Amino acid sequence: MALFRSKAERKVEEAGYDPSRLPPGQYLTEKWPVLHAGTVPEIDLETWDFRVWGEVEEPLTLTWEQFRELPSVEVTIDIHCVTRWSRFDTSFRGVHWRELAKLVRPRPGARFVVAHAEQGFTANVPLRALEDENALLAYDADGEPLPPEHGWPLRLVVPSKYFWKSAKWLRGLELRARDQPGFWERYGYHNDADYCK
Ligand SMILES: Nc1nc2c(c(=O)[nH]1)N[C@H]1C(S)=C(S)[C@@H](COP(=O)(O)O)O[C@H]1N2
Ligand SMILES: [Mo]
């Protein structure tokens, strides 16, 4: 047990949580801040589609209806934004990567993923990060459809990384043999987005 607690850690304790859940330098917020480049896109589910391509045997395009037919799971995770806020226990429902992997069959060389979102936004993650039991392609948050500003109709949720990897308004996943920096990574954010460091 740590001898000294920071002010932020004491607040976490007072709120009834284990202070070890708060990564170094973060503070807890009860609200859910909204953060993105650009504007909230307008989306028409009639024309919306979701694609998986790249290092896969069977590239895939799904309509919204088809996507919603995939088996879904619910996870409850902590969000950590690199701007230092953390939000505990947000529950998300959506589709785990394994369901898509069954359909597209990744090639053996597939090791990285570029998530493609509306308006050209991208975020890169190792494929491993999507295999994480708690990662998912989410359409509900806290029991409701995602609010538009939080990524409706679909966002990535990668709890093992800072939240900038969790692309909102997700439209596709590109599997790659080599890594390729995404939008924030090109602006100088650390490629790994590891909040434990
Ligand atoms: N499409 C898109 N997704 C994005 C971003 C963005 O600019 N565009 N910003 C990321 C960043 S920096 C953060 S912290 C989270 C914020 O998600 P929230 O607004 O739901 O809290 O979204 C991530 N996903
Ligand atoms: Mo962020």
For the Cβ of 146 lying below 6 angstroms from any atom of ligand 1, the answer is no
For the Cβ of 35 lying below 6 angstroms from any atom of ligand 1, the answer is yes
Domain range 44-73+92-187, its CATH number among 3.40.640.10, 1.10.1740.10, 3.90.420.10, 3.30.9.10 = 3.90.420.10
Choose among 41, 68, 59: nearest CA to 152: 41
Residue 48: pLDDT over 70: yes
- Report the distance separating Cα 155 and Cα 177, nearest Å: 23
Residue 195: pLDDT over 60: yes
Residue 4: pLDDT over 60: yes
For the Cβ of 80 lying below 6 angstroms from any atom of ligand 1, the answer is no
Q: Where are the domains of the chain?
A: 44-73+92-187
pLDDT of the residue at 6:
87
For the Cβ of 37 lying below 6 angstroms from any atom of ligand 1, the answer is yes
* Ligand of minimum distance to the alpha carbon of 87: 1
Residue 164: pLDDT over 90: yes
Nearest CA to ligand 1 atom 7: 36
What count of other Cβ atoms lies within 10 Å of the Cβ of residue 51?
15
Higher pLDDT residue, 4 or 41?
Answer: 41
Banded pLDDT at 197 (limits 50, 70, 90): low
3-state class (DSSP) for residue 65 = helix
Banded pLDDT at 188 (limits 50, 70, 90): confident
Nearest CA to ligand 1 atom 6: 36
Cα 135 to chain centroid distance, Å, stands at 7
Give distance in angstroms: CA of 166 to centre of ligand 1: 6
Residue 2: pLDDT over 90: no
pLDDT in tens, 84-135: 999 999 999 999 999 999 999 999 999 999 999 999 999 999 999 999 999 9
